[in-house]
Amino acid sequence: MQNDVVMMVLPGCPHCKRAFDLIDEVRAKHPEYAMIKIRVVDETQEVAFAEALDYYYVPTFFVGGKKIHEGHPTQEAILQVFAAALA
């Protein structure tokens, strides 16, 4: 069963931009992840939602409400997020 993925971001964050690039790269190599939906949340726009979560850096990925990765993204981190979404 697929879990919801939430990605917390800030406008202009270079690590967030890199996360988007890595998501595209991983999906290109792993078509089984193509259907995973990611809700991208700008913490400056959805302040109450952002304040309800336990994180300090962006991008931060939550799957089913559980923090999977926080901070500088790597391909391995994106793979971990997608694997958790399909668990």
What number does CATH give the domain 5-86?
3.40.30.10
φ/ψ of residue 83, rounded to 5? -65, -40
The fraction of the chain above a pLDDT of 90, given in percent, is 94
Say how many CA atoms lie within 13 Å of 75 toward its Cβ.
7
pTM, whole model, 2 decimals? 0.93
Q: Where are the domains of the chain?
A: 5-86
Chain segment 35-68, per-residue pLDDT in tens: 999 999 999 999 999 999 999 999 999 999 999 9
CA distance 60 to 6: 8
